[in-house]
Amino acid sequence: MTTSNMSMSTDTPRAFPKNFLWGAATAAYQIEGAAAGDGRGPSVWDDLCKQPGRIWEGHTGDVACDHYHRWREDVALMREIGLQAYRFSISWPRVIPGGTGASNEKGLAFYDRLIDALLAAGIQPWVTLNHWDYPLALHRRGGWLNPESPHWFSEYTELVAKRHGDRVAGWFTHNEPQCFIGVGLQEGRHAPGLRLGISDVLAAAHHTLLAHGLSVQALRARARRDARIGWAPIAHVHVPATDSAADVAAAKRACFTIESDFMKNNTWWSDPVYLGRYPDDGLARFAPHLPKITDADMRTICQPLDFCGLNIYTAERLVRDSGDGGGRAVTVPEPPGFPMTHMRGTVHPESLYHGARFFHERYKLPVLITENGISCADWIALDGRVHDPNRIDFLARYLREFSRAGRDGVPVAGYFHWSLLDNFEWAQGFQHRFGLVHVDMQTQKRTLKDSARWYSEIIRTNGGGL
């Protein structure tokens, strides 16, 4: 059976484990708005949005979905959908406007109200500490290049954990470090919009990993004992062109090999976190540019985690075994007309199967899908509803593949759909809609899409309707 034609069997039950967690996710800067409200300090994204030509059509997150004022309505929508968990991020500059030092009581109180409302609605709060809105004040002090940056992040974590840790069910330290380092500091497309050399980028990445480790330590000390702790990197999944043992082995090797791209690899980021070491091929490749790395650093970075979080949307590439005995992965081009999303991403449901399987086999932890979803061309139809059959089909295919991973022995822990709301899509502004809920950015009117109602039934039956 080939995997490139999106085919899959239809005769196997697809219910998930009884303790499987169904949720949806958002990020503070993408939905909250109130960018200068109630004492919030500026972030690097506020700064980038002010720079001409940086964001599509000059859009900003100044208002976004106005969730800061409409959170009650949004929690009610989550309850209507039947979410069991909600993954949201805390805005670091909202709770510590200068990044370090004095905290902002109004910002902390906002998250108190949100968390309490979620609990009252029977929804578990899952908090991301760093979803890219880094305090501008700290960026001006060197940001992630500053050796003190891990300690800044640890102090921020301690504040949040001390204030909210008695009620939060799950924690993520960083979201997609490959993006805020690789795209933000190396490629310059995301905030803070820099194009640094590889030595600086590697130093910033190392400080980011140290910050993760110190943050986990702070959470273990301050959060409730049963809270689950991890992080949410991008999983760059290479999928096999066929189910042959050779092609599967080649795809797995490709997932955990550093080839040419600093950003688009898994092991430079995840091996230190889960295994306590940088990969040998990366150490060799980056040798002239590496910062000082000590054994103590690696012990700090490698903290016990409760799950392997993965953001997966598509496959990095489709591969086959080279056939020459070397086990190399050879790229197989997508055929003309291959399914693509509105964001021009390829549709590869099997990436959830192989991503979950490969990462579990390497890191030996339960797998939690921390982001997965699709941008569609959604609008309010003449009947007043939002019909998004492409999203429903996409999610059904991907969830079937995640269920298949579970049946094949991967401990599948849960799934967070990206996103709850249509929102500000970073440098691409408001041109993409990922939400289960349609948001009219002019009026802020919320409308449940057909996919939200479909997802509600999937949650009610624990995936039995797939």
Among the listed residues 427, 443, 425, the one whose alpha carbon sits nearest the alpha carbon of residue 435: 425
371 is known as an active-site residue? yes
Residue among 424, 415, 412, 393 nearest 126 (CA): 415
Is 130 in contact with 92 (CB distance < 8 Å)? yes
Where helices occur in 41-140 by DSSP H, the ranges are 44-49, 67-81, 92-95, 105-120, 136-139
How far is Cα 251 from Cα 352, in angstroms, rounded to an integer?
Answer: 14
Q: Rounded distance, CA 366 to CA 382, Å?
A: 44
Tokens of 78: 């989550």
Cβ atoms of 405 and 356 closer than 8 Å: yes
Chain-centre distance for alpha carbon 127: 12
Cα(23)–Cα(135) distance, integer angstroms: 28
Selected catalytic residue, list 176, 350, 401, 425: 176
Q: Out of 158, 371, 401, 425, which one is annotated catalytic?
A: 371
Phi-psi region of 53 (alpha: psi -120 to 50; beta: other; left: phi over 0): left
Q: Kindly list the distances between the CA atom of residue 317 and the CA atoms of 48, 179, 392, 420, in Å, as whole numbers in the listed order.
A: 31, 18, 24, 28
Residue pair 22/11 in contact (Cβ under 8 Å)? The answer is no
| CA angle (27 as vertex; 24, 30 as ends), nearest 5 | 120
176 is catalytic: yes
Beta bridge partners, 85, equal 23, 124
Give the residue numbers marked as catalytic.
176, 371
